[in-house]
Structure 1
């Protein structure tokens, strides 16, 4: 029986912090399903296809592409986890603020889907300051974000900035 974990987020863009959670996840599970949230009320910088491609290329470059699948979802994370046959939901933690929020979500998800566990994975110390919001802000102001995101994300951000004018 294959152990599948779902890792959800917007991944706008995929950062080195996200990639670290995926790396840790493949050491624990047979397959990681990266579920990109697609919601009509949100306006991400990167298209779904750009985000999915960045995840696939980056996971492949790290040597664990075969263990990573990418899907979209537009409802509850637990519903996506059930649909993918996941036994766990992966959540990355950067600091205490993340922990407080994620504990609330884990409690709610545990009530909605008691058979699906939430697994918290701490960020590597050198990545705790990285967030997608900050990466987008730095990129928009012409800064070099290559220390914070894999090259596939950096290139996708450059294209998105050109589109946005």
Structure 2
């Protein structure tokens, strides 16, 4: 077979969709993905954005025989026939899927004279994966780590950038006009290659941003902080690891460089907010003891250290990310220094001093001790 088609809204494309496309490639020399633009649906991404995500996802796997065709105001099966395609391929996960797809197949062939359909059944681990399933994951703490398992990397990146952009816009909802005009420029800068979006950022990256902001959401919803405090913590978290190039003997720490970057942005609503956020960023240096104080320091450090108390799988991902971020450090030196850091942090956790704020202590302290103990054993 020369060509076969695959259709869907693909908002977002999932690993289940990718599996079907992979099966299609074993059947035909060329696969055409027909991307539906359905006026009754309200997708997160435009048809053009979804096309780019599909192509990037296929390119990532080295699939150079897949093209994408956007379908507007027409039947996919009829458009496929116009492109010389006699068969569409669809995945069947359940009997409900079969009943639905069989009805569509009959309509395609008998009513509109379109392409016929071939059905394939995905492996067990992809049997429940759908766009609706993935969308339902968004929101709670850790949602991004879970979503990452079910979508290709380009789809995941596009999804979290969209989520981050909404979080960013909400933070500046009451900002002055000049700050609003500059806000999107700063969003691009913070999520770009020079900051959290950099390829060398294996932990202090976009995942770190999403996780931290989700933690702030949960803390705020459950503790009802004073007006304005949640926004101060959010702004500080956005900037606290933005500059990660210092600490090499130039006398300026990453925390100080990031605080200066915040002040440079001019995004603060007033001078008081500017000073509060800058001081809170400076307080995130975990090894400066009590040198820098802030009334929200316990919250900020709780958000930043919440990763230590995640489930084992997420923690292991974090530990690998930290090692990759310090790939330039020789193994023996890394093992020694990482061990010192973990021993210091575990000791604080065992004394109930790691999470100063009760909300984070209740959520994460015990699991953090278990995680760090396990990693320390691997470094011994």
Q: Same fold (TM over 0.5)?
A: yes
Relative to its length, the structure with more helix (as a share) is 2
User: 1:88-114 CA deviation, whole Å, 9 max, x = no partner?
Assistant: 011111111101111111111121355
Contact 2:4/2:31 (<8 A) preserved: yes
In the alignment, what sits opposite 1:25? 24
The more displaced of 94-103 and 139-148 is 139-148
Deviation at 1:58, TM superposition (A): 1.4
Higher relative contact order (CA 8 A, sep 6+): 1
Distance 1:33 1:110, change over 3 A: same
Deviating above 6 A after TM superposition, structure 1's stretches of 4 or more consecutive aligned residues are none
Distance 2:114 2:41 in 1: 30
Aligned to 1:71: 69
CA distance in 2, matches of 1:120, 1:27: 14
Q: Helix, strand or coil for the counterpart of 1:52?
A: helix
TM-score (norm 1): 0.90
User: For the pair shown, which has the larger CA radius of gyration, 1 or 2?
Assistant: 2
Q: What residue number does 2:123 align with?
A: 124
Q: Structure 2: which 5+ runs fail to align?
A: 168-380
User: What is the CA–CA distance in structure 2 between the aligned matches of 1:106 and 1:115, rounded to whole Å?
Assistant: 9
Residue 151 of structure 1, CA deviation: 0.7
Gaps of 5+ in 1: none
SS of 1:63's equivalent in the other structure is: coil
Of stretches 5-14 and 112-121 in structure 1, the one that deviates more from structure 2 is 112-121
Return the alpha-carbon distance in structure 1 between the equivalents of residues 32 and 95 of structure 2: 26
Is structure 2 residue 38 aligned with structure 1 residue 36?
Answer: no
State the Cα distance separating 1:85 from its structure 2 match: 1.5
Structure 2 equivalent of residue 91 of structure 1: 90
Aligned residue-pair number: 163
Output the CA distance in 1 between the equivalents of 2:42 and 2:114: 33
- 1:163 deviates by 4.3
String of CA shifts for 1:41-73, please: whole Å, max 9, x gaps. 321012223211221111112222x21001110
1:5 is paired with a residue whose SS is: strand
Greater share of strand: 1
CA–CA separation in structure 2 for the residues paired with 1:159 and 1:38: 22
Greater shift in the superposed pair: 72-81 or 10-19: 72-81
Query: 108-117 or 41-50, which moves further after superposition?
Result: 108-117
Native 8 Å contact 1:110 1:116 kept in 2: yes
Q: Distance in 2 between matches of 1:71 and 1:133?
A: 22
